[in-house]
Amino acid sequence: MRDGAEGGGDPPVSRWTRALRVGAALALLLTAAPGASALAQGESGARGEVFVADIDGAIGAAMAGYAANAVDEAAQRGANAIVFRIDTPGGRVDAMRDIVQAFLEAPLPVIVYVAPGGAQAASAGTFITAAAHVAAIAPGANIGAASPVAESGEDLPDTLRGKVDEDLSALARSIAEKRGRDPAPLEEAVRAARSYSASEAVDAGLVDLQASDLGDLLARVDGRAVELPGGPTTLRTDGANTIELGQGLLYRVQVFLADPTVVFLLIAAGWTLIFIEVFTGFSLIAAGLLGAALIALGFVGLVNLPVHWLAVGLLLVGVLLVAAELNVDGSGVLGAAAVLTFVVGAVLLYLHFGAQTPSWSGRGISLPLFIVAGGMAAGMGGIATYNIVMARRRKPVYVPPVLEGAIGVVRAEINPIGHVFVNGETWRAMAADGLRLEEGAAVEVLSVEGATLIVRAQGGG
């Protein structure tokens, strides 16, 4: 056996040892490769991703849900930040508060960008912009005019106006304090309906900066420190990949159904189809089912709209009265009441037909359309109710055959027509021999003609 140190060289290595070493080296490389790749990716993609979503049109329940879901999705997918491009005339206060809450509690940086040029963040949009970690505006855009008005677009009564002003002003101060901004310009937008141009908004501290486009915005906010619920973080947005969050089909359907005109037409068309089904004696089936589906869609749309819920209740009562009319053998009173409640409910549903205001989208119902569609629905309801009543009057009365030979008592003198009481019921009667039968006389039923009993004195006397 040779000495391992002889010749000063390394000991001989077997083929199996070489194979093991090569295998270990390959395993090490394969194990290290993902880490190296991730490191390289981290270096090259250190900017990460920035999600981009749009807040456009009137602020309602559908928009509030979309904005909150966009924040959640961006956070779950590890985005560096999310940018909301905003262009809105305002909308509902409750929906605005939902969006503000989602922004204030967001686990990642939220940037609101009033864009493009000519866009506005009016009324509710002012609060939403102020709630962002970073608020930006494009040249030519404007922000403000946050004074509250009624859902109909009219000024609030003085007492109520004072209460709402105080509430929204407190919200403005809270948002400004949370984001470290001067509350004065935001509060002035509420109390005095002040509106700001892009440069005025920056000078007043209502927004943080101007940016010409999305790329310029991401470059200018890069390195800015923001405070998140979990602690401070620094924006890394310059050169980041931008991912557009589209508005899905469900959201688009909700927005479509949030149009007052669409909602009213759905309810009016559904009402008309149901009465067409009634008018045809339930021979179509499809008309009734489609009508019920359209009414259901209309009520889904009402959830996203500022409505008078008394009007919604009246519309529901109208539907219930239709069902009652079909199941109660009455004289059409319930059907007439159904038509009346539908008309009153439709009128109360949207009383405002005026112009747009800073916090109301102005999407009312066209008065001519309202009159035509409502008149058609009410007219069809009246025709169907009349048809039901007439059908009931023409319906032959079923007379049990056991009446023949039965004995009864005259309740109203028969001369030659009167009434008799037989088998617990009062019937129209006529004397078979044409003789006069006095009240209280006992009679025998000989036959039945339609709903008239042919009788004679009991015993033939």
Q: Domain with 61 in it: what CATH number?
A: 3.90.226.10
Q: What are the tens digits of pLDDT across the range 355-413?
A: 333 333 444 566 677 777 777 777 777 776 776 667 666 655 555 666 788 899 999 89
pLDDT above 90 covers what percent of the chain? 31
Q: Is there a domain that residue 380 lies in? A: yes
31 by Cβ neighbours in 10 Å (0-12 / 13-18 / 19+) ranks as exposed
10-24, 70-84, 139-153, 358-372 — which is least confidently predicted?
A: 10-24
Mean pLDDT of the chain: 77
Q: Are residues 222 and 281 in the same domain?
A: no
| 321 and 430, same domain (yes or no) | no
* pLDDT tops 60 at residue 4: no
Spatial separation of the C-alpha atoms in residues 389 and 277, rounded to whole Å: 15
Q: What is the mean pLDDT of residues 34-44?
A: 32
Strand-by-strand arrangement of the 142-144 sheet: 120-122, 142-144, 195-197
Which parts of 48-184 are beta strand (E)? 49-56, 81-87, 110-114, 120-122, 134-137, 142-144
- 197 pLDDT more than 80: yes
Q: Grade residue 318 by pLDDT with cuts at 50, 70 and 90.
A: confident
Q: What is the model's pLDDT at position 213?
A: 94
Question: What was the pLDDT predicted at 152?
Answer: 47
Same domain, 65 and 159: yes
For residue 1 the two structure tokens come to: 């056996």
Highest mean pLDDT among 163-172, 295-304, 379-388: 163-172
Q: Average pLDDT in the 167-185 region?
A: 91
Q: Are 387 and 421 contained in the same domain?
A: no
Q: How far apart are CA 364 and CA 355, in angstroms?
A: 9
Q: How far apart are CA 447 and CA 415, in angstroms?
A: 18
Domain interval for residue 434: 401-460
Predicted confidence (pLDDT) per residue in 420-440, tens digit: 998 888 888 888 887 888 899
Span of 174-178, 211-215, 276-280, 426-430 with lowest mean pLDDT: 276-280
Whichever domain contains 426, its CATH number is 2.40.50.140
* Residues 121 and 140 grouped into a single domain: yes
By CB neighbour count within 10 A (0-12 exposed, 13-18 middle, 19+ buried), where does 11 fall? Answer: exposed
SS3 263: helix
- Taking the chain, what is the end-to-end CA distance rounded to the nearest angstrom? 153
Domain membership of residue 203 (yes or no) is yes
pLDDT surpasses 50 at 202: yes
Number of domains in the chain: 3
How far apart are the C-alpha atoms of 270 and 264, rounded to whole Å? 10
Out of 379, 394, 409, pick the residue that ends a domain. 394
User: What is the band of 329 on the pLDDT scale with cuts at 50, 70, 90?
Assistant: low
Residue of 26, 93, 34, 103 lying closest to 58 (CA atoms): 93
pLDDT of 259 reads 74
Of 202, 217, 247, which one is at a domain's C-terminal end?
247
Least confident of 3-12, 89-98, 226-235, 415-424: 3-12
Higher pLDDT, 165 or 283: 165
Residue 369: inside a domain: yes
Do 57 and 206 fall within a single domain?
yes
Q: What is the CA radius of gyration of the chain?
A: 39
Q: What's residue 302's pLDDT?
A: 74
Strand partners, 412: 419
Q: How many helices (H) and strands (E) does the chain have?
A: 14, 16
pLDDT at 461: 55
Q: Is residue 283 part of a domain?
A: yes
**Claim to verify: residue 177 and residue 301 sit in the same structural domain:** no
Q: Determine how many CB atoms are found less than 10 A away from the CB of residue 345.
A: 20
- Stated as kind and residue range, the H or E segment containing 80 is none
Per-range mean pLDDT, top range of 137-146, 148-157, 250-259 = 137-146
Q: Are 299 and 266 in contact (CB under 8 A)?
A: no
Average pLDDT over residues 346-363: 48
pLDDT computed for residue 249 by the predictor: 75
The answer to the question of residue 14 being in a domain is no
Q: Are 82 and 115 in contact (CB under 8 A)?
A: no
- pLDDT tier at 315, thresholds 50, 70, 90: confident
The model's pLDDT over 81-122, given as tens digits with 9 standing for 90+, comes to 999 999 998 888 888 999 999 999 999 999 999 999 999 999
**pLDDT bucket at 41, cuts 50 / 70 / 90:** very low
Give yes or no for a contact between 306 and 153, defined as CB atoms under 8 angstroms apart: no
**Percent of residues, the chain, with pLDDT higher than 70:** 73
| Residue scoring higher pLDDT (381 or 171) | 171
Tell me, yes or no, whether 193 and 335 share the same domain: no
pLDDT at 125 over 70: yes
- Does 20 fall in a domain? no
The pLDDT assigned to 128 comes to 95
- What is the full DSSP assignment across 282-341? S--SHHHHHHHHHHHHHHHHHTTS---HHHHHHHHHHHHHHHHHHHS--SSHHHHHHHHH
pLDDT for residue 78:
92
User: What is the β-pairing status of strands 231-234 and 225-228?
Assistant: antiparallel
The answer to the question of residue 11 being in a domain is: no
d(CA 449, CA 394): 16
Domain boundary among 215, 247, 279: 247
Q: What is the pLDDT of residue 93?
A: 85
Q: Is 228 exposed, middle or buried (0-12, 13-18, 19+ CB in 10 A)?
A: middle
Based on the fold, state whether residues 234 and 88 are members of the same structural domain.
Answer: yes
Whether 210 and 347 share a structural domain: no
Q: Residues 6 or more apart from 397 whose CB is under 8 A from it?
A: 450, 451
Residue 230: both structure tokens together:
């979990």
- Within this chain, do residues 232 and 321 fall inside the same structural domain, yes or no? no
How far lies 309's CA from each of 338, 349, 374, 442, in Å? 17, 8, 19, 62
Does residue 252 fall inside a structural domain?
Answer: no
How far is residue 274's CA from residue 377's CA, in Å, rounded to a whole number?
Answer: 10
Q: How confident is the model at residue 40 (pLDDT cuts 50, 70, 90)?
A: very low
378 and 449, same domain (yes or no):
no
CA 18 to centroid of chain Cα atoms = 71
